[in-house]
Amino acid sequence: CLSVSVFVSLSLCLWALCLFLLLLCLPPCISCPPNCQCSDGSGLMTVHCSSKNLKEIPKDIPKDAVFLKLEANQLTHIPSHAFSGLTLLQELDLSQNTIEKLDAAAFQGLSSSLKLLDLSHNQLRSLPKEALARLKAKIRLSHNPWHCECTLQEILWEVKLDPMSVNEMACQTSVREEAIGKPLVQVLDSGANFCSSRRKTTDIAMFITMFGWFAMVITYIIHYVRQNQEDARKHLEYLKKMSSGTLAVGSAASVGLEL
């Protein structure tokens, strides 16, 4: 009985040791968002979340993700810090959604490793300047119902547009009627400047403000001068009364002495 017990104990120990070694040899478990597929081919983590009817950016995206595919979903809004911590991300595909709004810090946390950001085929009409300010990646903004105005023009001066899709970025509405329905690049190449009207408005506002301050200063000076003149007149009348009283007292004293 003792021999059998020792044999069983040794067998269990060997099985436990084999199981432990097997677990050590297995690859680490990869956390992947629900309904998404994560693959680590050639050491480059790719997260596929395409055509999953997603309405929000999925959670638990692997931190070592290099390619993130979120196209053809139902995303309408990209909140602040939506991709924070994905410092190895090189390509982010958000095309073919219904995105209408980007928060100013939507892409904050993405490093200079990002090479491509695809926002084409969405419902964007405008962008906050800060959203794309620090990105060095090529950006696709085609096939959106853009409202062409000064802010959008200033953004285009700062970002690096994908040359393959830049001609497909058109003005659905605009502050300049002649730009409606035309490719934005074509409008800008023709010499149009969406910021000229803003500068004129700013100049007019500054002129009105300066004129208002000038009028206030002039009014104050006039009031001050008139007030001083009134005070001086009253003071002069007071001195005249004082001198008249002094003369009257002196005359009475002289009469008294003569008597």
149-169: per-residue pLDDT in tens? 999 999 988 899 999 898 999
SS3 127: coil
Tokens of 241: 């009364």
Edge to edge, what strands does the sheet with 160-161 contain? Answer: 37-39, 45-48, 65-69, 91-93, 116-118, 138-140, 160-161
Q: Are the CB atoms for 46 and 39 separated by under 8 Å?
A: yes
Look-up: residue for tokens 């911590």?
Answer: 85
Least confident of 120-124, 188-192, 242-246: 242-246
Tokens of 85: 């911590």
At residue 125, the pLDDT reads: 97
At residue 238, the pLDDT reads: 72
Tokens of 76: 């309408």
- Residue 25 dihedral angles phi and psi, to the nearest 5°: -80, -20
Tokens of 251: 């005359």
Q: Are the CB atoms for 60 and 33 separated by under 8 Å?
A: yes
pTM of the model: 0.66
Separation CA 123–CA 120 (nearest Å): 9
Tell how far CA 100 is from the center of its chain: 14
Could you give the percent of the chain with pLDDT greater than 70?
Answer: 73
Q: Is the pLDDT of residue 259 over 70?
A: no
Q: Are the CB atoms for 82 and 59 separated by under 8 Å?
A: no
